[in-house]
Structure 1
Amino acid sequence: MMGIYSLVSSLAVFLTPTLAFQVLTTSQRGLHGLAMTSDASSAGLDVTVVGGSGFVGSKVCQSLIEKGAKVTSVSKSGKIPSFAWCDDSWTSKVNWVATDLETADESSIATAIGSPQCIVSCLGVIGNEPEALKKGNGETNCAAFGSAKKGGKLERAVYVSVSAEVAACQENWLPEFFGGYFEGKKMAEQCALDTVDGDSSKVCFVKPTFIYGGDAFGLLPPRVNKEYGSFIEELLSLGVIKFFADITPGLIKVALRPPSSVDAVADACVSAAIAGSALGKDLDGAAAINEITNQPAATGLTDAIEFAGEKLGQAYGWAKEEVPKAVAKLEEMSKK
């Protein structure tokens, strides 16, 4: 789902300072998703995650397994992902299915998707061909949602889409080919709703601007790690930044909006999947996503300031002790 974010993330990254050091953030300490414990029981719930081998999808699979759900991941590769959080403690419990939903026939898709009680789609494609973007983000998701409905047991649908503020940039701020991307996203949202017979109380749309997390930076798709992302999220959540974001246009507005952590996006998906507080919601932007999942405030900026203060204190202590020694040594040498 990261297609549009290459431009957005470039602005976000270069409009904010880069730190050369890394610090432990609150989200790394395992505090995300505190509200999830109050959601409905998910023991034995049958969930199919489309794009489950991906960045967000793998997090969704992990959280669902930890809550006792029965999880099938459908992706083109069908492989267990290699992200830092993907260990055997939960990956061995997922049914990893390889199916190319863009080219597979209806029967093959039905076999892959199965008859889930809930379908969560984190599937998205990037590129510069309008028709390919429309098909990959729209028609492919529609095929998955439609197949889940035909399974006969579907109760809920969840889709990771894109923030309305990002979509609003397509007319005047983005290359024309992005039209296929947004058209596909809109098509997928409608198909998700149709899957539950138009009942908005049974569907959830999670719409971040930019998603960060993990332990590495990336370009394709664009991604920043957890420490830097948390720094940016806290910085862009400051009141003065929010004020300027509200009054600026287009991509500048989007670049000044706080990004969402992969933990927050996954928690929102899981909450909706298990009929928790996110179900029936249109979660547009980091604030809405964080609120529904009770995410702790990002602390990357605060941690960075504390880190810098600690290092400055250490440097001052060293200088206070060593500089007089050096001066005394120089004076001694000058007398010889």
Structure 2
Amino acid sequence: MSSLSSFAAISRPPSSLKRASFPSRQSSHFAFASQNRLCRFGIKCSYAESSVTEDSKSATIDVVADVKTERLVVLGGSGFVGSAICKAAVSKGIEVISLSRSGRPTDSSSWVDQVTWIPGDVFYANWDEVLVGATAVVSTLGGFGSEEQMKRINGEANVVAVNAAKDFGIPKFILISVHDYNLPSFLLSSGYFTGKRKAESEVLSKYPNSGVVLRPGFIYGRRRVDGFEIPLDLIGEPVERILSATESFTRPLSSLPASDLLLAPPVSVDDVAFAVINGVTDDDFFGIFTIEQIKEAAAKVRV
């Protein structure tokens, strides 16, 4: 997955509490139920109430919460960003299904065995097999090539995936997009950026209240290519620290054309992954997110 990003309006409301569903009880019991909505996540809570009946016997109220079991489909799950998302999801107890051309990666880490790996192409996918029971889909699809190839993989492939998810009633779609680096318009008209923007528009139009678009810059981490590990973090991590430390000095330069090619801070692949997890688990997390907001979102769940 490439790591360039873009411009945007951002929506990042606070986390919402999941509502507990309460079984029918006598009216005198509802006071307890209304005061204990935090008894969720499948916990059964009992409360003793005195003097409820004439014989002063105590009564109990069972509060049974509606527990939402997450099932995440990762498009491109065997790639650099996709595998980080799969790993982060597994660490949070989320069921994960990956659809990618290469299927199962060669990584021997234990988390790999906890993912369902499906080899396939988005354009010819058996969505009945991939999307059944899913609660969210995240797409890491993207790449470089000729103009037509970039429009197809960055744009058309994601549009196909968004529409498939919508048709199957999947409640949330998350897209890994690209920061625009303050590039002039003639550069943003390339197939790479136009494809990404087309995909973004599709996500936000089909999922206006639950679609998530992440726009990271250069994504660093340990990247495997043909069996070799490329330590992108040796470059990305120190650059991120330097740019963060000098932000107050460089901010006035951010309005200059293409300035973000030098000034946009890199993003850890783990931050991108955990920002996705935040998007999966928080129903109030939707809209377009910048580099800094991706890091903030990741910090909420990276514990």
TM-score by length of 2: 0.70
Mapped contact 2:103–2:117 kept (Cα < 8 A): yes
Matched, 1:180 2:203: no
- CA distance 1:288–1:245, change in 2 (3 Å): farther
Matched, 1:123 2:134: no
Gaps of 5+ in 1: 6-36, 296-336
Mapped contact 2:76–2:100 kept (Cα < 8 A): yes
- Matched residues, number: 240
1:39, distance to aligned residue in structure 2 (A): 9.2
The residue identity in structure 1 corresponding to 2:211 is V
1:240, distance to aligned residue in structure 2 (A): 4.8
Gaps of 5+ in 2: 6-14, 19-40, 42-66
1:130, distance to aligned residue in structure 2 (A): 1.1
Farther-moved stretch of structure 1 (207-216 vs 37-46): 37-46
1:254, distance to aligned residue in structure 2 (A): 2.6
Mapped contact 1:99–1:109 kept (Cα < 8 A): no
CA distance in 1, matches of 2:3, 2:264: 17
Match of 1:310 in 2: none
Mapped contact 1:3–1:124 kept (Cα < 8 A): no
Match of 2:174 in 1: 158
CA distance in 1, matches of 2:159, 2:89: 23
The residue identity in structure 2 corresponding to 1:100 is D
Q: Larger % of helix: which?
A: 1
CA RMSD of aligned residues (A): 3.0
CA distance in 1, matches of 2:283, 2:295: 14
CA distance in 1, matches of 2:74, 2:167: 16
Match of 2:121 in 1: 100
The correspondence for 2:289, drawn from 268, 283, 291, is 283
CA distance in 2, matches of 1:39, 1:228: 39
- CA distance 1:79–1:181, change in 2 (3 Å): same
| Aligned sequence identity (%) | 29
Mapped contact 2:3–2:217 kept (Cα < 8 A): no
The within-5 A match list for 1:138-287 is: 138-152=155-169, 154-163=170-179, 165-166=180-181, 168-169=182-183, 171-172=185-186, 174=187, 179-196=190-207, 199=208, 201-214=209-222, 225-237=232-244, 238-243=246-251, 245-250=253-258, 252-275=259-282, 279-285=285-291, 287=292
- CA distance 1:56–1:81, change in 2 (3 Å): farther
1:191, distance to aligned residue in structure 2 (A): 2.1
For 2:299, what is the secondary structure of its paired residue?
Answer: coil
Match of 1:52 in 2: 77
CA distance in 2, matches of 1:248, 1:79: 43
- CA distance 1:244–1:255, change in 2 (3 Å): same
1:203, distance to aligned residue in structure 2 (A): 1.5
Matched, 1:74 2:99: yes
For 1:97, what is the secondary structure of its paired residue?
Answer: strand
TM-score by length of 1: 0.63
For 1:293, what is the secondary structure of its paired residue?
Answer: helix
CA distance in 2, matches of 1:39, 1:244: 39
CA distance in 2, matches of 1:131, 1:236: 35
- CA distance 1:170–1:55, change in 2 (3 Å): farther
The residue identity in structure 1 corresponding to 2:161 is A
Mapped contact 1:75–1:97 kept (Cα < 8 A): yes
Q: Deviations over 1:168-199 (max 9, x none)?
A: 42534x4x8x6211111111112223443xx2
